[in-house]
Each structure stands twice: as C-alpha cells, then as structure tokens.
Amino acid sequence: MRLPIILDTDPGIDDAAAIAAALFAPELDLQLMTTVAGNVSVEKTTRNALQLLHFWNADVPLAQGASMPLVRPLRDAASVHGESGMEGYEFVEHDRQAMVKPAFQAIRDALMHAPQPVTLVAIGPLTNIALLLTHYPECVFNIQRLVIMGGAAGRGNFTPNAEFNIAIDPEAAAKVFQSGLEIVMCGLDVTNQAMLAPEYLATLPQLNQTGKMLHALFSHYRSGSMNTGLRMHDLCAIAWLVRPELFTLQSCFVAVETQGEYTSGTTVVDIEGRLGHPTNAQVALGIDVEGFQQWVAEVLALAP
Ligand code: RIB
Ligand code: CA
C-alpha cells in the first residue's frame, strides 16, 4: 500500500529533486502538489512546478498558494536558485494550469475526501500550512503527520540562527509548531550533511532524462557546488518518509522565535528538555549519509 502524500513546495532546485523522489519512490502516492512563495515568487514557483509535472508527464493536480508570508514582506533565495528559481534548464512549452482554488483550500478538500489520513510534506515556508490550520482547524484529524524540511537545532543558513524556510515566515511556523500536529522536522542538522558527491553528480547526465535535467539545474544551485558536493535539503523530507532508518530523531519541544530583532525565525530546539514544555516535534539530529546517497541513486534511477 503506497503512502498518500501532499507536497507543499517552493521550487527551487533542491525542491525539484525532492519532487522527482516523491513521484518515483514506489512507496509514495503523490496526490496533490501545492506551491508557496519562498525561493522565488509564487508565480515563479508555480511555473516551475508545472514545468516539472509536464516534464515527468505526471498526473498530479497543482494548486498555487500564498504569494506572501502571513505578516512579513517576502524575501527570496534567488541567489541560491537563480532568478527563475530553477536556473539552468530550458523546459518545453506546455499548457498545464494550476487549479483555480488556492493551495490551502485544495489541501483541505484533498484531506476531507481522502479515505484515510494523509501525510503532509512541506519543503518551503509554512505559510500554506498555517492558512490551512487557521481556516480549517478541523482538518488536523485527517492529517497523518507533517514532515518538513525546515529549522535547525544548530546554526541557520539565512540568518546566523534561522533556516530559510522558517525565517521567511516565522509566524506561520510558530502556528504550525503550536498546532498539536505530529511533526517530523528535518532541519539543517541533517540536511547540511545530506550531500550528493561530485563523483555521483558527474554520472547524472548519463543516467536518464531526469538525471540530465537535474544535472543542468544542479550546475546553477548554490548550496554547495558541483566540485565539492551539493546539499539536498528538501530530499531529506522525502527520504525520511521512505527510509526512516537513515535518520536519528529525538522528541523535543520546539519553539519558533518571532520577536527577536536578530533572532526571528530561529527554531529553539530544547534537546535537553531545559524549558520543561511537552515535546511537540520529532527532530532529526543524525543521518546515515552513505545510506542517503545510496537511496538517492536508487530513486533517481527509477525516473524516466
Ligand atoms: O534552507 C533550505 C531550504 O530553503 C530548502 O527548502 C530550499 O529549497 C530553500 O527553500
Ligand atoms: Ca524548498
């Protein structure tokens, strides 16, 4: 029985690799994809997501989501992913469209019509997830769990303390971590280790059409380099779903700082339980890097 999932994403070059794994991992059933502003504008993340779905001829509905964080101006990561958000590959023209309803409504509808609880996977800012929980709090009963790429128990990558997905919309992230949802947090503590090695990257163009396309994108991806290895942040969220044994998780209380002048967007991960609050997330603190790399090679080989 394949695991039904909904993927909220801001493609984004590492998002593209995660979408490939979500589509071609035999353990998963990608039922809906939604976009959010993050790496680039939501118009661009939506265009990129549609291009990827067309590239893979995937029969997966897409809904466009929030164009702005809940209360803050949008700041992007075009410096990492290029102005388009997926620099480096010319996708063919197509006529795919996003559905009319916004992402949070599309997620709610998909959850309420599902015969069993669905796993939500969020690999961008958590704005759509926060809107879902605000407008449709009853849907929590139809969510198996939420798996995110976001946050860090250690240092950040957008500010000294804050990881990008959380830093872009701290208010949304705070809402999500306070929601009572079962959360698995794949933060920088593991995603910074989840590198694809230069030797493997060099084999991608000969792997298949997906490898060729990802190699072209990866050549423009600035979280690492083709010569030193690339950090596959978003792939970790998918990897945990299908190979949880690759990760070491610890149940922790996690708070999201929203007030700090220098610290907003920080995920305060109470590993030692010093604050005395009940735990609200399973935080990935360790990863079997070789096992991750082996899995990535296996799952990308299943793509066309
Ligand atoms: O910090 C890494 C995260 O920020 C990833 O989701 C990447 O796509 C960017 O959105
Ligand atoms: Ca992302």
Rounded to the nearest whole angstrom, what is the distance from the C-alpha of residue 72 to the centroid of ligand 2? 18
Q: What percentage of the chain reaches a pLDDT higher than 70?
A: 100
Helices (H) and strands (E) in the chain — how many of each? 13, 12
165 C-beta closer than 6 A to ligand 1: yes
pLDDT at 59 exceeding the cut of 90: yes
The 10s digit of each residue's pLDDT in 238-269 is 999 999 999 999 999 999 999 999 999 999 99
The 10s digit of each residue's pLDDT in 168-180 is 999 999 999 999 9
| pLDDT value for 19 | 98
For 217, the token pair is: 């994108």
Rounded to the nearest whole angstrom, what is the distance from the C-alpha of residue 14 to the centroid of ligand 1? 7
Rounded to the nearest whole angstrom, what is the distance from the C-alpha of residue 234 to the centroid of ligand 1? 7
Cα–Cα nearest to 223, from 189, 247, 202, 195: 195
Write down the residue that tokens 């599309």 correspond to. 106
48 C-beta closer than 6 A to ligand 1: no
| pLDDT value for 150 | 98
At residue 80, what is the residue type?
A: V
User: In what helix (H) or strand (E) does residue 31 lie, and over which residues does it extend?
Assistant: strand 28-35
pLDDT at 9 exceeding the cut of 90: yes
Rounded to the nearest whole angstrom, what is the distance from the C-alpha of residue 161 to the centroid of ligand 1? 15
| Pocket-testing residue among 79, 126, 149, ligand 1, by greatest number of atoms within 8 A of Cβ | 149
pTM score over 0.95: yes
From the CA of 231, which ligand is nearest? 1
CATH code assigned to 3-301: 3.90.245.10
The mean pLDDT of the chain is 97
234 C-beta closer than 6 A to ligand 1: yes
236 C-beta closer than 6 A to ligand 1: no
The span from the CA of 188 to the CA of 151, in Å, is 6
221 C-beta closer than 6 A to ligand 1: no
- Report, as residue numbers or ranges, the catalytic residues: 233
| Pocket-testing residue among 76, 81, 123, ligand 1, by greatest number of atoms within 8 A of Cβ | 123
From the CA of 232, which ligand is nearest? 1
The span from the CA of 288 to the CA of 223, in Å, is 20
167 C-beta closer than 6 A to ligand 1: no
- Segment 182-207 mean pLDDT: 98
Rounded to the nearest whole angstrom, what is the distance from the C-alpha of residue 117 to the centroid of ligand 1? 26
pLDDT at 80 exceeding the cut of 90: no
46 C-beta closer than 6 A to ligand 1: no
